[in-house]
Amino acid sequence: MTDVQGGFRGWAADRRGAMSRLRFTSLRLRLVVVFGLVALTAAVSASGIAYWLNREAVLTRTQDAVLRDFQQEMQNRAGALPVHPTQDELQRTAGQMANSSQRFSVLLVGDDTDGRTVYGSSDGLSAFALDDVPTSLRKAVDKRQKVTDSNKSAYHLYWQRVVDHGTPYLVAGTRLIGGGPTGYMMKSLEPEAKDLNSLAWSLGIATGLALIGSALLAQAAATTVLKPVHRLGVAARRLGEGKLDTRLRVSGTDELADLSRTFNDAAEALEKRVDDMAARDDASRRFVADMSHELRTPLTAITAVTEILEEELEAESGSVDPMIEPAVRLVVSETRRLNDLVENLMEVTRFDAGTARLVLDDVDIADQITACIDARAWLDAVDLDAERGIHARLDPRRLDVILANLIGNALKHGGSPVRVSVRIEGEDLVVAVRDHGPGIPEDVLPHVFDRFYKASASRPRSEGSGLGLSIATENARIHGGSITAANSPEGGAVFTFRLPRDASRLTEESKDAGDAGDAGDAGDAGEKSA
């Protein structure tokens, strides 16, 4: 049963593939249709011309032979009758005339000695009659023509083709010059009609065969033309998927071969360009990473010294000279800022290198937000709207980085109170951080998550490096989530991040490579309009 179902599915798939190849927008179908129309037009035109020429030739040949024989019979036999023949004489002569080689029916009309009109028919009085002759033909036969140098006879032979009950006939008539009976002839053209019908059928069959042959030729031509096009499409898709080593096999010297060569040249140039860019990118990342690592060693010593200086500043002994106290505080602040910058650069380098990994744990969202706020002494400036018991399986450290950057950014540039609200939408966790500041200018909104972006070039250096929001975005992305920025209708800016409640499916792609350090300081919370 399984084999039967598999065979049926295979047949259905093949049929769908064939139908897709023959859809109306398919170049293959259009080529076949165009070839077919051209062949059909040529075959119908040739068949029509051939039929018309043969029809005229057959009918003309038969007609000329019959009319010539009838005219001779009228001259030889009807011309031998007296001027006023009797009915018996007409009957006998008509029968003799009908026995000619062409075998036609004859009707003779004359006047007897008493002036009465008498008839003689080769088929008897009930067969070929005067009523069978068209009126127009009778009038033409009876009309006396004027004798001139160009017209030597007063009466002429006239003929006409008629159809009676589906059978074609040739009807002709003439009068004897110098007196005598008028003769009419009727000849059946049914044998010629049958021959012409056979010819029409033959030409129709030939047209059908020509159409089928053209379709087969079109299919062969389409296959020849479209196979390289199909290979080009497949190669283009592979190239779009990032397989830059894709190349086409070039054969021939036609336009399609030139197209394949052009594609190969473009793919080679693109591969070289991407390799160069990747090499420069790798070199840049290595430089940033090496620089950050090299800076950490002297920064550790500097940080230890600044901590001692800071303790001296806070001590009541007043051991620091008041004249140099502002300089000492500046050194402490700038050292802390430099340390934050180095840590942020190292984290950005890990994201760029793809070495950042998730360490998942079950997290109570309300407790996590509260811990983040409490650790940075923001309890008085932040309102939390989150129910207890909302759990998610996330990386607690990276969630703390996101929260610290967004809340710190809101406090720095928007001002308190900052409101943090949590809600569940389907399988996602949605956290919104809203401040009550002036909002974000519309021209700044598209760039707030860019690295090192600052809304104002005149902003003091102590306001951050412009990496905080970028790091928050990367931490959301590694969870399979996102962060958006907008302005609230009630005023202020709103940053909303959405994370899946369970990021376990991402752990296979994000194996833990070890804890490479903290993800940046909450004080460096990115940039937006003040």
SS3 labels along 407-460:
HHHHHHHCCCCEEEEEEEECCEEEEEEECCCCCCCCCCHHHCCCCCCCCCCCCC
Which SS3 state, helix, strand or coil, does residue 241 take?
A: coil
Angle between helices 190-240 and 255-314 (to 10 degrees): 30
* DSSP per-residue string spanning 460-479: -GGG--S-HHHHHHHHHHHT
Number of C-beta neighbours around residue 479 at 10 A: 24
Nearest 5°: phi and psi at 205? -65, -40
* Pair 123, 100: CB distance under 8 Å: no
pLDDT value at residue 330: 79
Question: What is the identity of the amino acid at 57?
Answer: A
pLDDT value at residue 433: 92
Which SS3 state, helix, strand or coil, does residue 35 take?
A: helix
Question: What is the identity of the amino acid at 260?
Answer: S
Decide: residue 222, CB within 10 A, 0-12 exposed, 13-18 middle, 19+ buried. buried
User: Residue 482: CA atoms inside 13 Å, Cβ hemisphere, count?
Assistant: 2
Q: Does residue 239 have a pLDDT over 60?
A: yes
d(CA 366, CA 369): 5
For 462-484, how does the pLDDT look when each residue is reduced to its tens digit (9 = 90+)?
A: 455 677 788 888 888 888 889 99
Please report where in the chains the tokens 């002994």 appear, as a residue: 317
Residue 67 tokens, joined: 């009319």
pLDDT value at residue 462: 42
* DSSP per-residue string spanning 190-207: HHHHHHHHHHHHHHHHHH
- Taking alpha carbons only, the member of 435, 428, 368, 429 closest to residue 400 is 368
- Taking alpha carbons only, the member of 168, 164, 165, 170 closest to residue 186 is 170
Confidence of residue 231 (pLDDT cuts 50, 70, 90): confident
For 129-142, how does the pLDDT look when each residue is reduced to its tens digit (9 = 90+)?
A: 888 888 888 888 88
Distances (CA, A) of 454 to 351, 407, 436, 464, 529: 21, 18, 20, 9, 8
For 332-370, how does the pLDDT look when each residue is reduced to its tens digit (9 = 90+)?
A: 777 777 777 777 667 777 766 666 777 888 889 899 999
d(CA 366, CA 386): 6
Cis peptide bond upstream of 417, omega within 30: yes
For 184-202, how does the pLDDT look when each residue is reduced to its tens digit (9 = 90+)?
A: 988 888 887 787 788 788 8
Question: Mean pLDDT, the chain, as a whole number?
Answer: 77
* DSSP per-residue string spanning 251-263: -SSSHHHHHHHHH
493-500 vs 482-487, strand pairing mode: antiparallel
- Taking alpha carbons only, the member of 363, 347, 369, 352 closest to residue 504 is 363
Cβ contacts of 420 within 8 Å, gap of 6 or more = 369, 382, 383, 384, 385, 386, 403, 407, 431, 432, 433, 434
Q: DSSP state, 502?
A: B
Segment 367-387 mean pLDDT = 88
Confidence of residue 495 (pLDDT cuts 50, 70, 90): very high
